[in-house]
């Protein structure tokens, strides 16, 4: 007789053979798909190809806009053709995208490259998490999702720490090596997807028979109705905006300006980024280290406050203090991402278009990030880095204060909150809408 599962991470019996296969193949897919060898050198690579700064950053602006636009149809596609098939398509597109600069190292070639990258990543952004969540739920192994999501992210970060220092020597042998290796990694991720087991039902299985434009519109309408009718789902999505925006802006846009402002030479930036990546990887692999005295939704708020506090504290410290704060910032980000992703997945009602809803969350995050990037440019142009850090922290405090007011008020019908911070569904909610544990579902299926 199978041992009963407690529904808590790390508790109860281990995963089934199928669940273990899903987890391991997901590790391989996430590592290979996201291992972009060209990331540390793409700016210098494009400069060497003759592109101007205006052309380079213009392509980046087009990329972010394209990503938001592609997220709308790709989430719908994932729910219609199945998450597994959508992952296959994303891996194929990503493989071709990484080869575009090898074929044509020109403005057109790099523009096609980044547009294809946006398409490939949008095809997988919601589908990968949806497949993992539904696959483990089908095996009654829900309690392993959080650790699986965090470990996958940690392995991807660790691979970057190991591989990125090799880019320079490899380019001296073959100038296009970073792009060829990235294409090879994407092809390897396709092999992982092909090996994934087919899930029962429409989640990650075969394409739905009732396809067509009408079906896409129905899924889009269903997703919007889910967000409109579930204030809990909407609030959880909004809470995640703070984590995504702060982490993205700090680690991508403000990383070098902060270090240069504190007198840290460019030669040391790679070492600092490696230390931050290690801190984030360790935290992402161990979200279970967070105390269970607080529910996950409270932990995301606490970690968002930690991110804001670290940004504000950077205005006071010297070079070493800033490096330590950046590493703490990265660790808080590592803890927050898998917890936030599980919160959103748990809040999605049963039989709702999960991948589409995850794409909606991604659109909101990147739209806010795009607006924040404009503000960052204005602050930096005016030489007001310290003011930017303080205002970012204050904006986060205001957002979280509003969130807590809504959470504690009558705006959200949460009912009785369980140990995992999940809301008890209102009367009439379909079974499983609150993300019940495997034990609860198995008990519900047993004859009384």
- How many Å from the N-terminal Cα to the C-terminal Cα in the chain? 18
Domain ranges of the chain: 15-206, 229-422
pLDDT at 373: 72
> Mean per-residue pLDDT for 83-91?
89
Express each pLDDT in 385-411 by its tens digit: 889 899 988 988 988 888 888 877 654
Q: In terms of pLDDT, which residue wins out, 191 or 158?
A: 191
Identify the helix (H) or strand (E) that includes residue 68.
helix 53-81
Residue 264's pLDDT band, with cuts at 50, 70 and 90, is: confident
CA distance 338 to 153: 8
* Architecture of the domain delimited by 229-422: Up-down Bundle (1.20)
pTM to 2 decimal places: 0.62
Q: Range with the lowest mean pLDDT among 83-97, 182-196, 266-280, 305-319?
A: 266-280
The chain-wide mean pLDDT, for the chain, equals 77
Closest CA to 391 of 312, 273, 306: 312
Q: How confident is the model at residue 146 (pLDDT cuts 50, 70, 90)?
A: confident
Domain 15-206: CATH superfamily, name plus number: MFS general substrate transporter like domains (1.20.1250.20)
**Structure token pair of residue 327:** 């590493």
**Measuring CA to CA, how many Å separate 97 from each of 34, 54, 384?**
13, 22, 37
The pLDDT of residue 232 is above 70: yes
- Is 229-422 the same fold as 15-206? yes
Answer for the pair 400, 246: CB distance below 8 angstroms, yes or no: no
3-class state of residue 16 by DSSP: coil
Segment 190-210 shows an average pLDDT of: 67
% residues pLDDT > 90 (the chain): 19
The arithmetic mean of pLDDT across residues 37-56, rounded, is: 80
Tokens representing 379?
A: 């602050």
């Amino acid at each position: 007789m199978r041992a009963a599962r407690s529904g808590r991470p790390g508790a109860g019996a281990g995963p089934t053979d199928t669940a273990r296969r899903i987890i391991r193949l997901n590790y391989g897919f996430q590592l290979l798909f996201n291992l972009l060898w060209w990331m540390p050198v793409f700016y210098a690579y494009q400069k060497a190809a003759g592109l101007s700064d205006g052309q380079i950053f213009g392509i980046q602006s087009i990329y972010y806009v394209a990503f938001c636009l592609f997220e709308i149809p790709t989430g719908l596609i994932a729910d219609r053709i199945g998450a597994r098939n959508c992952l296959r398509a994303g891996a194929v597109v990503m493989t071709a995208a990484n080869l575009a600069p090898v074929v044509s190292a020109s403005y057109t070639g790099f523009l096609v490259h980044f547009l294809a990258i946006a398409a490939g990543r949008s095809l997988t952004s919601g589908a990968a998490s949806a497949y993992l969540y539904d696959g483990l739920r089908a095996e009654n192994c829900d309690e392993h999702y959080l650790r699986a999501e965090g470990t996958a992210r940690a392995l991807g970060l660790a691979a970057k720490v190991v591989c990125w220092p090799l880019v320079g020597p490899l380019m001296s042998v073959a100038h296009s090596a970073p792009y060829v290796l990235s294409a090879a990694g994407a092809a390897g991720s396709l092999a992982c997807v092909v090996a994934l087991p087919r899930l029962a039902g429409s989640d990650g299985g075969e394409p739905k028979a009732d396809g067509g434009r009408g079906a896409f519109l129905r899924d889009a309408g269903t997703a919007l109705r889910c967000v409109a009718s579930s204030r809990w789902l909407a609030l959880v999505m909004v809470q995640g905006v703070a984590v995504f925006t702060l982490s993205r802006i700090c680690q991508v846009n403000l990383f070098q300006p902060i270090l240069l402002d504190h007198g840290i030479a460019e030669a040391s930036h790679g070492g600092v980024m490696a230390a931050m990546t290690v801190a984030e990887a360790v935290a992402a692999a161990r979200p279970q280290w967070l105390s269970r005295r607080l529910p996950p939704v409270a932990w995301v708020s606490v970690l968002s406050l930690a991110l804001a506090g670290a940004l504000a504290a950077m205005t006071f410290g010297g070079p070493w203090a800033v490096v330590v704060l950046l590493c703490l910032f990265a660790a808080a980000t590592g803890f927050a991402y898998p917890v936030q992703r599980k919160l959103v997945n748990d809040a999605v009602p049963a039989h709702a278009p999960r991948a589409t809803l995850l794409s909606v969350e991604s659109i909101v995050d990147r739209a806010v990030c795009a607006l924040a990037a404009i503000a960052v440019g204005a602050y930096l142009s005016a030489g007001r880095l310290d003011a930017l850090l303080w205002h970012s922290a204050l904006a986060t405090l205001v957002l979280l204060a509003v969130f807590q007011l809504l959470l504690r008020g009558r705006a959200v019908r949460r009912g009785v909150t369980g140990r995992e911070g999940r809301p008890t569904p209102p009367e009439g909610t379909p079974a499983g809408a609150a993300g019940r544990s495997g034990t609860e579902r198995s008990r519900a299926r047993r004859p009384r």
